[in-house]
Amino acid sequence: MSVLRPFVTSDMFTFSNVNLDLFTTTYSPSYYLNYLARWPDLCCATVAPNGRMMGYICGKAEGLSHSFHGHITILTVSPPCRLLRLASTLIAHLKAYYKNLRGGRGRHEEDVFGESCFDELVMFLRSGWRSVRANGRDVLVSREEVS
């Protein structure tokens, strides 16, 4: 069970349990503050009933008229909570927000967020590629290169 709520500045002092894994980058406080100042409605967190953060997402909206589009900039879920489908909940929240911004018309949600791209990435990783961390970045390498 979790509560979806807005991401607030004090969350930067409590998300260490979410960010402490090999594949998550922790940005500078100014990075998070920039997103909170410019797109506060696109930053939200999931919190356990005991108050411990389980995951968070930060997005942004860019463009005008036909070129309007959105980005998911940060999406991370605490390792013990990754089987709870919290990432899907967070993405659904942003999709609903973007759909509301566009007035329910325009591109399909799949085009805005590339759901098929997520599926293709999962299939790609299962087919013999692996995501690893190198020089502070997540990269894709073949299994032969890792061995």
Would you write out the chain's pLDDT as a tens digit for each of its 147 residues? Answer: 789 999 999 999 999 889 887 778 888 999 999 999 999 999 999 999 999 999 999 998 887 777 777 888 899 999 888 888 898 899 888 888 777 665 655 444 444 454 544 444 444 445 555 555 555 555 555 444 443
Reported as half-sphere exposure (CB side, CA atoms, 13 A), residue 48 has a value of 13
Among residues 93, 79, 95, 112, the alpha carbon closest in space to that of 45 is found at 93
Domain 3-109: give its CATH code. Answer: 3.40.630.30
pTM > 0.95: yes or no: no
Residue ranges of the chain that CATH labels 3.40.630.30: 3-109
What phi and psi, each to the nearest 5 degrees, are found at residue 18? -85, -40
